[in-house]
A and B are shown apart, each in its own frame.
Chain A
């Protein structure tokens, strides 16, 4: 830009944009994670448990066992995965606060908990 006024305007525009962008990022950190929280399934158990996350978090379960497992909320309706074979995954995004106990419907002794705040 050749004249000073135009240059100053440009700086102002860029500055405002940066501020806005920064605000969005802060807001996003407050309400939702950008990467899913990992829960692994190993030796017939879920870990970590319990896991505490903010509202809007996505949890990703990965099965490391040589046998299929499922991820099913105790009420059997809030979330319910298909059977996951070795290395398969299941994700669920928790949009409401609360305590969610879940289990493997094939091996019901496997129980775990997610606390959403």
Chain B
């Protein structure tokens, strides 16, 4: 039976290979189980409910599968979620049930709530039950509340530079973990700093433009909502360095909701938290924990499944809730 990609959209309005109308349709489905596949610069989308067996097989044969979790805030115990350990365990169960078993995990920060050793320990303990045993971390601002990030770096600083940035390869895909939560200035947003940007330049230099890149950092590297600190002051310089590559995925956390944006060959994505949701930009007085009825909580928490498919010019980023 031939695959019916009913929602395949290939209308290239701006002659840059990006189907914006199709992208908006894809965005509208985000959070309900949508597969948005970027393939050769053209966005194809189809709802997971119509994800038939042959599609599942294709995903299972993905060249590289990993998952992103974020904002576990171990130690948080207020009304928005009095059991963040329980919801993190539910996230691990969800990861272990994914059709394409992720080989490793990326944790995009706010691992702990108050940078306490017992909080970091608790997360590590819970993640031991994940079948994906290797976890790559970047810190969130809650992980470096001790000022110099010592608690975080003592645990996760090995093989990193500066405030904890690093890169690694997995089957020809280049991963870059960036730190944008240190040395924050009054009134500012997230910050990468000149030392890290200089390192990034050198790190990317030897790579060919067809190398798929995945950048992960806590605070969004695009301007989601500056009033609430949802952006990075000097991310433009990093994005300039990434411009020449054919496939770049930028994975962030911090905002506790899923959001996606495509700009040229760069796909930006933020993951949900495994701990508590936050309001949509401007929908509340501040970006704090959002209380919802108990039965709604797990619908607003989640994990993200990422698969590189077919020759690696396509990356599928799928958000799944804990409900």
A interface residue numbers (CB < 8 A to B): 43-45, 65-68, 70, 74, 80, 83, 85-86, 101-103, 105-109, 111
Q: How far is the CA of A108 from the CA of B187 in the complex (A)?
A: 5
A111 touches B145 (CB 8 A): no
Q: Is the CB of B288 within 8 A of A111?
A: no
Q: Tell me whether B184 and A108 are in contact (CB under 8 A).
A: yes
Tell whether B113 is near chain A: CB-to-CB under 8 Å.
yes
Chain B, 141-161, contact with A by CB distance < 8 Å: what is the 0/1 string?
Answer: 110010100000000000000
Given contacts A83-B114, A83-B145, contact A102 B186 (CB under 8 A): yes
Interface of A is mostly: loop
- B229 located at the interface, meaning its Cβ lies under 8 Å from any Cβ of chain A in the complex: yes
Chain B residue, CB-CB nearest to A76:
B147
Distance in Å from the Cβ of A89 to the closest Cβ of chain B?
Answer: 16
Q: How many residues of B contact A (CB 8 A)?
A: 25
| Cα of A77 to Cα of B142 in the assembled complex, Å | 20
**Are B286 and A45 touching (Cβ within 8 A)?**
yes
Known: A66-B78, A101-B186, A109-B187. Contact between A85 and B114, CB under 8 A? yes
B145 near A43 with CB under 8 A, answer no
* A44 to B109 alpha-carbon distance, docked (Å): 20
* CB atoms of B78 and A86 under 8 A apart: yes
Given A44-B286, A85-B114, A107-B229, CB of A70 within 8 Å of CB of B145: yes
Instruction: Mark B residues whose CB is within 8 Å of A.
Output: 78-80, 113-115, 141-142, 145, 147, 184-189, 226-229, 285-289
Closest to B113 in A: A68
CB-CB < 8 A to B288: which residues of A? 43-44, 65-67
Nearest B residue to A101 via CB reads: B186
Q: How far apart are the CA atoms of A102 and B185 in the complex, in Å?
A: 10
State whether B189 touches A109 (Cβ < 8 A). yes
Q: Give me the 7 closest cross-chain CB pairs, A-B, nearest first.
A: A103-B186, A44-B286, A108-B184, A83-B145, A66-B78, A43-B286, A43-B285
**In the complex, chain A residues whose CB is within 8 Å of the CB of B79:** 66
CA–CA, A105 and B147, complex, Å: 8
Is the pair B286, A108 in contact by a Cβ cutoff of 8 Å?
no
CB contact between A106 and one of B142, B189, B226, B286 (< 8 Å): that residue? B142
Please measure, in the bound complex, the distance between the C-alpha atom of A100 and the C-alpha atom of B80, giving whole angstroms.
34
A108 to B147, CA, bound (A): 13
State in angstroms the CA–CA spacing of A108 and B190 once bound together: 9
21 A-B pairs (CB sep. < 8 Å): A44-B285, A44-B286, A44-B288, A65-B288, A66-B80, A66-B288, A67-B288, A68-B142, A70-B145, A83-B114, A86-B78, A102-B186, A105-B145, A106-B145, A107-B141, A108-B184, A108-B189, A108-B229, A109-B187, A109-B227, A109-B228
Question: Contact at B188–A108, with CB atoms within 8 Å?
Answer: yes
Bound complex: CA A18 to CA B78 (Å): 52
Q: Separation in Å of the A64 CB from the closest CB of chain B?
A: 11
Inter-chain CA distance A70–B188, complex, in Å, is 15
- B78's nearest neighbour on chain A, judged by CB, is A66
C-alpha gap A100/B38 in the complex (Å): 50
Residues of B with C-beta under 8 A to A70: 145
- Measured between beta carbons, the chain A residues less than 8 angstroms from B147 are 80, 105
